[in-house]
């Protein structure tokens, strides 16, 4: 970040540290042999000194909830600089200090809301939910939540593949004033999903990706591996910040346990409907079937070229006109089999236009 002469710094203030990700950095001072952060009281007097080096893990400056004032000083062999401008950090109250109690009534209401959201995503077929646990929840709580969300009447509940749980809560910096806040991680995960979709496509997994502006977490999970096995996607410390260990859905189906696969299928359902609607009022003929097949192949070829499908031939398309002798007979059926980057078998999206003209996209 550049260099500043030490003799000048002895008369002037040391450059003020800035926050980059989850670390503090500052410009090097020429001939300085070290740096010292001083925690100041309201009168500007030092009440704590801390030898430091750049970059500095911001968590080392956590002194509990409330406002904490720090100032940086460069140290030379015989001189020391004036203090930098004051850096004010406002830390939130973490669950270690706050009550993590989740009354039974609140827990039941949350599960009802989460189940309704998953069922909505399933019914639409083109939505995905990022769910969160209460602040301070442990891996056993996540296991209980997943079990409660499943509908035993459905066997392997298909709604579970339309959602994920991100945990624990994160400490982020919402503005340049360094006022930190403790919030659920859903907003950061959704923001990362949105950015990756724009940059590469919905098939890009957010697992291993740093979450922007996250400087700490509420707590380190007792067992990230256990939480991962329960269907959660743990947020953990990594070089340069905090990341999701992996991005898993709540489903036990090995073909649908990756968020990237579910979101790819969401894209394919939208694509199938969009291409089918273009030919909605065309006659039921072989020419219409070929036109739909060509449009689907063209769109899928672009997805494969962008890395959304695996293998040399990552998809198959079969379109055929159907009989229309009765009101329930299909007029046109399109089957799209795809091979995502990490599936165990081919997955199929079926587009059916029935005699009433309605288009129905389904998986199977």
pLDDT at residue 112 above 50?
yes
Q: What is the mean pLDDT of residues 245-268?
A: 89
Q: What is the mean pLDDT of residues 350-357?
A: 70
**Of 41-55, 83-97, 163-177, 286-300, which gets the smallest average pLDDT?**
83-97
d(CA 317, CA 347) in angstroms, rounded, equals 12
**Of 156-160, 161-165, 189-193, 236-240, which gets the smallest average pLDDT?**
236-240
Chain centroid offset of residue 61 CA? 26
Mean model confidence pLDDT for the chain: 81
d(CA 308, CA 302) in angstroms, rounded, equals 9
Beta carbons within 8 Å of 288's beta carbon, 6+ residues apart: 279, 282, 321, 332
Q: Enter the tokens of residue 199.
A: 């940059």
Q: What is the pLDDT of residues 323-335, one digit of tens each?
A: 655 554 557 788 8
Task: Determine phi and psi for 202, rounding to 5 degrees.
Answer: -70, -15
Q: What is the pLDDT of residues 45-68, one digit of tens each?
A: 889 999 988 888 877 887 777 888
pLDDT at residue 97 above 50?
no
Confidence of residue 121 (pLDDT cuts 50, 70, 90): very high
pLDDT of residue 279: 81
**Of 7-16, 66-75, 116-125, 211-220, which gets the smallest average pLDDT?**
7-16
Q: Enter the tokens of residue 8.
A: 């000048």
**Of 118-127, 297-306, 352-361, which gets the smallest average pLDDT?**
352-361
* DSSP assignment string, 86-116: PEEEEEPPPTTTS-----HHHHHHHHHHHHH
Outline where 279-349 has alpha helix (H). Answer: 286-305
pLDDT exceeding 90 applies to what percent of the chain?
19
pLDDT of residue 139: 83
Chain centroid offset of residue 294 CA? 35
Q: What is the mean pLDDT of residues 221-237?
A: 80
User: For 72, what's the count of Cα atoms within 13 Å in the CB-facing half-sphere?
Assistant: 27
pLDDT of residue 106: 66
d(CA 38, CA 49) in angstroms, rounded, equals 4
Q: What is the mean pLDDT of residues 344-352?
A: 60
Confidence of residue 100 (pLDDT cuts 50, 70, 90): very low
pLDDT of residue 118: 95
d(CA 275, CA 320) in angstroms, rounded, equals 15
| Contact status, residue 349 vs residue 336, Cβ threshold 8 Å | yes
| Contact status, residue 90 vs residue 180, Cβ threshold 8 Å | yes
Q: What is the mean pLDDT of residues 87-92?
A: 82
Confidence of residue 363 (pLDDT cuts 50, 70, 90): low
pLDDT at residue 108 above 70?
yes
3-91 sits in which CATH class? mainly beta
What is the value of pTM for the model shown? 0.74
Separate counts of helices (H) and strands (E) for the chain: 7, 20
Asked if residue 55 has a cis previous peptide bond (ω within 30° of 0), the answer is: yes
Q: Enter the tokens of residue 240.
A: 């340069």
Length in residues, the chain: 364
Q: Enter the tokens of residue 195.
A: 């950015």
Q: Where in the chain is the domain with CATH 2.60.40?
A: 3-91
pLDDT at residue 317 above 60?
yes
Q: What is the mean pLDDT of residues 247-253?
A: 89
């Amino acid at each position: 970040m550049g260099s500043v002469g030490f003799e000048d710094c002895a008369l002037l203030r040391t450059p003020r540290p800035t926050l980059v990700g989850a670390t503090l950095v500052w410009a090097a001072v020429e001939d300085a042999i070290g740096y010292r952060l001083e925690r100041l009281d309201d009168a500007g007097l030092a009440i704590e000194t801390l030898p430091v080096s750049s970059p500095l893990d911001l968590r080392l400056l956590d002194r509990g909830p409330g406002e904490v004032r720090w100032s940086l000083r460069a140290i030379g062999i015989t001189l020391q600089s004036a203090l930098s401008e004051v850096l004010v950090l406002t830390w939130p109250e973490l669950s270690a200090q706050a009550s993590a109690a989740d009354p039974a009534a609140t827990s039941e209401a949350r599960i009802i809301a989460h189940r309704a959201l998953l069922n909505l995503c399933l019914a639409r077929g083109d939505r995905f939910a990022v769910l969160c646990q209460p602040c301070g929840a442990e891996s056993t709580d996540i296991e209980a939540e997943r079990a409660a969300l499943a509908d035993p009447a459905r066997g392997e509940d298909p709604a579970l593949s339309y959602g994920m749980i991100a945990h624990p809560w994160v400490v982020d910096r919402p503005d340049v004033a360094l006022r930190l806040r403790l919030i659920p991680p859903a907003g950061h995960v959704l923001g990362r999903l949105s950015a990756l979709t724009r940059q590469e496509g919905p098939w890009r997994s957010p697992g291993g990706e740093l979450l922007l502006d996250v400087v700490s977490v509420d707590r380190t999970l007792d067992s990230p591996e256990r939480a991962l096995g329960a269907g959660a996607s743990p947020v953990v410390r990594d070089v340069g910040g905090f990341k999701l260990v992996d991005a898993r859905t709540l489903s036990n189906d090995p073909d649908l346990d990756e968020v990237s696969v579910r979101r790819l299928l969401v894209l394919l359902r939208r694509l199938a409907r969009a291409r089918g609607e273009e030919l909605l009022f065309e006659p039921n003929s072989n020419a219409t079937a070929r036109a739909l097949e060509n449009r689907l192949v063209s769109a899928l070829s672009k997805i494969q070229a962008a890395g959304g499908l695996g293998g040399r031939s990552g998809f198959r398309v079969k379109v055929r006109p159907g009989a229309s002798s009765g009101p329930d007979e299909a007029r046109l059926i399109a089957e799209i089999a795809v091979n995502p980057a990490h599936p165990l078998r081919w997955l199929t999206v079926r587009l059916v236009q029935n005699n009433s003209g309605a288009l129905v996209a389904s998986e199977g």
